[in-house]
């Protein structure tokens, strides 16, 4: 079949793996490790990279929590922003993306039932990702010492006017290229499979990986431009100034779809693994494909919803972004329905009855199952705060408050992170042939994460409604008191701190369990199989598999949503901007206004004042 | 369909999976929907009735 040594000789040449619609098969008693040992090693390496980032990131998480609530401040408030940058970058760029390239590699190879085309190429992208992220990470951590003149306290949203050392951007660029090559690797492997199987439907898991990869290419195009043409030359001193609104807009062009990049591997696991763990079957393969196509189409032309308070962008463009965002709710609602129905099927087959009684028959003692279900439940809660964020008017209520932080600890911090931890309990044995050290600890761990997050995130939401700002080392001000709703600021701080401590304990349990598992010896009999969907790919219209068509439409929608705003931003502020600092821009705008006729002044004054001062430079 | 009115039996579902009618799922989603609506109404009170006007400047 291929030149690589991956597939065992006994099965390498048959090419007749039975096609269950979720993808290939794990015939008989073979684990992924048995069948594709080389790919399994890559997946294991990506997971270990992810866990390292998780360990450092969550440690910083508890430090921040205790600092901003005033409970313990062993470090200076200046260092707070170094911790915060590292927490953000390590968790949402490193942990999530390393884990997801592993999930995608596993899912693609498994569902195509075919090894990667060239394992050395796969190690090359892994090496680039690891090198790039190490550079970026060390540059951030160098901010703790004044011994070297290197720092990158720019937060994970690294747009101007905050500036980092060039190594920060350089490392990110290398990391990004690594992810692009990973996508190329999956596509090449898929095309090789296509030549071997010209008439077959794309297996579901492979379909999910391939559409998400295209979304990633679209999303990261703007980030590459921002880093290579503006931020990196600017921090190297090659150009004097940049246009901050432009770099912000390019960042958020990437910043929304990246949340779906984190989420799609979780969806993949919910759609294709969770039903099997529950003893059920995926309710509908076609519906799953529709969902992934919708995400490809709609993930990117919405990024401006992060900029509702940006003064440099016309309200009309923001309205377009809001409309697209509301459409984007649809695929997540479809997912809620499909996944729950698939699990319900499992419960009914296990003998569950009643309108809600079936819930009792589910395998709640299985940490993989319970973890993923709790993650999904948290996502539903995050859906509510997300709708508040997404509304142009109501966003003003919570913009840049700790509410937003509460929101994304439900989404990326739980729906994604907890799904990844839960999936580890199921996947790790498949990719290593080692049984999990303790499934009881695993179960306790996922429940603790849920409880800790319920406490911390809920209190963050409530504090946000009181107006408590995010990204603030000491969010108290002399001569000012927060309102007393929800128990008041002090009590909510206590909830944040207790929740954060429980979360940290959960993270420690997870990591210890993984380390102890690595000490186990390899055994047989760990192989798990995935069940076929109830309604299989034969029910899905062929056009769904036309990824080129969907990619084309996605690019078109992005052009429609972004061409005019970007032209307007460049026309107004210049490609390289009026300066790297925030407040002269407001002065400029005021100067322009002063020259205009009074009626224009009346029209635009509220925008400039409200946006410029209330919005600031988050 | 393949089952008696209402309850779907395990055996029936295994025999004819497509007869599965996800009623429990529908019920859960309706519960979620009710919670969402309640929260929205609640946020309305927070935004429009909970705060005084803020005058900048
Ligand atoms: C032990 C668990 C965790 C704790 C205690 C924790 C705590 C915190 C706190 C208190 C903040 C707010 C700081 C501020 O705005 O002043 C924060 C920010 C943040 N957290 Fe976490 N977190 C944890 C896990 C996670 C996970 C798993 C993720 C994502 C996968 C995550 C992603 C983020 C991000 C992106 C920010 C925003 C950083 C910024 O505003 O620049 N956190 N975290
Ligand atoms: Cu967004």
Domain boundaries, chain A: 32-476+493-583, 589-618
Any domain includes B47: yes
* Sign (positive or negative) of CA dihedral A586, A592, A594, A596: negative
Give the count of alpha carbons within 13 A of A93, CB side only: 28
| A315 vs A308: CA distance, rounded Å | 8
Query: What is the pLDDT at residue A23?
Result: 45
A495 falls in which pLDDT band (50, 70, 90)? very high
In a domain, B49, yes or no: yes
Give the mutation candidate from A349, A403, A535, A536 for the B interface (greatest B CB count, under 10 A).
A349
**Distance from the Cα of residue A286 to its chain's centroid:** 24
Bridge partners, A401 (sequence order): A469
Full residue range of the structural domain in which residue B44 is found: 22-57
User: Using CA positions, which residue lies closest to atom 18 of ligand 1?
Assistant: A405
Provide the shortest C-alpha distance from residue A577 to chain B (in Å): 28
Q: Is the dihedral of CA A132, A297, A339, A381 positive or negative?
A: positive
pLDDT in tens, A135-144: 999 999 999 9
Model confidence over A420-446: pLDDT tens digits?
999 999 999 999 999 999 999 999 999
A536-A271-A303 Cα angle (round to 5): 115
Which tokens go with A553?
């439409």
Task: Determine whether A408 is an active site residue.
Answer: yes
pLDDT of residue A617 exceeding 70, the answer is no
CATH class of A32-476+493-583: mainly alpha
Q: pLDDT per residue over A265-292, tens digit each?
A: 999 999 999 999 998 888 889 999 999 9
Q: Put residue A229 in one of left, alpha, beta given phi > 0 → left and psi -120 to 50 → alpha.
A: alpha
Residues A87 and A500 sit within 8 Å (Cβ to Cβ): no
Alpha helices, DSSP H, located in A226-351: 232-236, 244-255, 257-272, 274-277, 285-298, 315-349
Cβ < 6 A, ligand 1 pocket: A 58, 61-62, 64-65, 68, 84, 87-88, 91-92, 95-96, 155-156, 405, 409, 412-413, 417, 470-472, 500, 503-504, 507
- Say whether A461 is catalytic: no
Report cis status (omega within 30 of 0) of the bond before A161.
yes
* B31 part of a folded domain: yes
| B45 within a domain of the structure (yes/no) | yes
The SS3 of residue A535 is: strand
Catalytic-labelled residue, pool A408, A437, A489, A576: A408
In a domain, residue B51? The reply is yes
**Are A356 and A404 contacting, i.e. CB atoms less than 8 angstroms apart?**
no
Q: How far is A96 from A409, CA to CA, in rounded Å?
A: 13
**Gap between the Cα atoms of B3 and A576, Å rounded:** 69
Mutate to test the pocket of ligand 1, among A64, A474, A475 (most ligand atoms within 8 A of CB): A64
- How would DSSP label each residue in A182-199? HHHHHHHHHHHHHHH-TT
Average pLDDT in chain A? 87
Is there a domain that residue B36 lies in?
A: yes
- The confidence score (pLDDT) of residue A4 equals 43
Angle separating helix axes A257-272 and A244-255, nearest 10 degrees:
10
Task: State the complex-level ipTM.
Answer: 0.76
Q: How many domains does chain B have?
A: 1
Residue B49 has pLDDT above 90, yes or no: no
> Ramachandran region of residue A231, left (φ > 0), alpha (ψ -120 to 50) or beta?
alpha
Which residue among A345, A394, A610 sits closest to B56, beta carbon to beta carbon?
A: A610
Are A465 and A405 in contact, with CB atoms under 8 Å apart? no
Options A44, A68, A407, A572, the catalytic residue: A407
**Angle A60-A159-A379 from CA coordinates, rounded to 5°:** 55
Instruction: Give counts: helices (H), strands (E), chain A.
Output: 23, 0
Q: How many CA atoms lie within 13 A of A462 on its CB side?
A: 20
**Per-chain residues with Cβ under 5 A from ion ligand 2:** A 256
Which tens digit of pLDDT belongs to each residue from A222-272?
999 999 999 999 999 888 889 989 999 999 999 999 999 999 999 999 999
| Reported confidence tier of residue A579, pLDDT bands at 50, 70, 90 | very low
Query: 3-state SS of A137-161?
Result: HHHHHHHHCCCCCCCCCCCCCCCCC
Buried b (16+ CB within 10 A) or exposed e, A361-387: bbeeebbbbbbbbbbbbbbbbbbbbbb
Q: Are B16 and B3 spatial neighbours (Cβ–Cβ below 8 Å)?
A: no
């Amino acid at each position: 079949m291929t030149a690589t040594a991956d597939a065992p000789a006994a099965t390498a040449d048959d090419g007749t793996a039975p096609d269950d619609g979720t993808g290939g098969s794990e015939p008989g008693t073979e684990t992924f490790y048995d069948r594709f040992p080389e790919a399994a090693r890559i997946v294991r390496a990506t997971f270990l990279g992810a866990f390292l980032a998780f360990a450092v990131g969550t440690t910083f998480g508890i430090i921040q929590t205790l600092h901003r609530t005033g409970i313990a401040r062993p470090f200076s408030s200046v260092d707070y922003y170094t911790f915060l940058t590292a927490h953000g970058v390590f968790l949402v760029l490193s942990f999530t993306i390393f884990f997801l390239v592993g999930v995608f590699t596993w899912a693609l190879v498994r569902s195509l039932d075919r090894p990667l085309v060239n394992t050395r190429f796969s190690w090359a992208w892994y090496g680039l990702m690891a090198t790039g992220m190490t550079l970026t990470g060390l540059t951030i951590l160098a901010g703790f010492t004044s011994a070297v003149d290197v720092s990158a306290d720019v937060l994970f949203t690294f747009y101007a006017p905050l500036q980092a050392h060039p190594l920060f951007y350089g490392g990110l660029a290398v990391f990004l290229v690594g992810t692009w090559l990973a996508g190329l690797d999956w596509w090449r492997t898929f095309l090789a499979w296509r030549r071997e199987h010209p008439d077959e439907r794309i297996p579901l898991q492979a379909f999910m990986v391939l559409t998400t990869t295209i979304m990633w290419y679209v999303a990261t195009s703007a980030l590459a431009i921002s880093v290579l043409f503006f931020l990196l030359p600017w921090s190297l001193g090659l150009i004097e100034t940049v246009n901050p609104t432009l770099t912000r807009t390019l960042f958020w062009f990437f910043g929304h779809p990246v949340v779906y990049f984190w989420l799609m591997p979780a969806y993949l696991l919910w759609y294709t693994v969770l039903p099997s763990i529950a003893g059920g079957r995926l309710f509908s393969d076609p519906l799953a494909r529709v969902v992934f196509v919708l995400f490809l189409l709609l993930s990117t032309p919405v990024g401006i919803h992060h900029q509702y308070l940006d003064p440099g962008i016309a309200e009309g463009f923001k309205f377009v972004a809001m409309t697209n965002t509301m459409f984007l709710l649809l695929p997540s609602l479809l997912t809620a329905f499909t996944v729950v129905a698939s699990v319900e099927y499992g419960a009914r087959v296990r003998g569950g009855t009643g309108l809600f009684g079936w819930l009792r028959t589910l395998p709640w003692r299985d940490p993989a199952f319970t973890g993923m279900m709790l993650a999904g439940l948290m996502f539903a809660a995050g859906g509510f705060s997300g709708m508040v964020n997404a509304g142009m008017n109501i966003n003003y209520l919570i913009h840049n408050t700790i509410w937003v932080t509460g929101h994304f600890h439900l989404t990326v911090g739980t729906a994604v992170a907890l799904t990844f931890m839960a999936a580890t309990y199921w996947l790790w044995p498949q990719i290593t042939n080692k049984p999990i050290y303790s499934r009881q600890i695993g179960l306790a761990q996922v429940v603790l994460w849920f409880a800790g997050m319920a406490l911390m995130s809920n209190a963050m939401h409530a504090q946000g409604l009181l107006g408590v700002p995010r990204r603030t080392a000491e969010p108290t001000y002399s001569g000012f008191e927060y309102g007393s709703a929800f128990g008041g600021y002090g009590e909510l701080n206590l909830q944040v701190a207790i929740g954060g401590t429980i979360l940290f304990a959960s993270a420690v349990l997870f990591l210890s369990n993984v380390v102890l598992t690595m000490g186990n010896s390899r055994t047989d009999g760990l192989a798990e199989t995935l069940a076929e969907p109830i309604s299989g790919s034969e029910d899905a219209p062929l056009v769904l598999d036309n990824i080129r068509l969907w990619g084309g439409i996605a690019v078109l929608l992005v052009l429609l949503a972004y061409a005019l705003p970007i032209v307007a931003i460049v026309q107004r502020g210049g490609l390289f901007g009026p300066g790297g600092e925030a407040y002269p821009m407001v002065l400029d705008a005021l100067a322009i206004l002063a020259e205009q006729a009074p009626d224009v002044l009346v029209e635009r004054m509220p925008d400039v004042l409200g946006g410029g001062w209330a919005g600031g430079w988050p | 369909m393949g089952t008696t009115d209402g309850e779907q039996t395990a055996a029936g579902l295994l025999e004819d999976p497509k007869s599965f009618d996800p009623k429990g799922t529908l019920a859960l989603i309706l519960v979620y929907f009710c919670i969402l609506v309640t929260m929205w109404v609640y946020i309305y009170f927070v935004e429009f009735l909970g705060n005084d006007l803020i005058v900048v400047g």
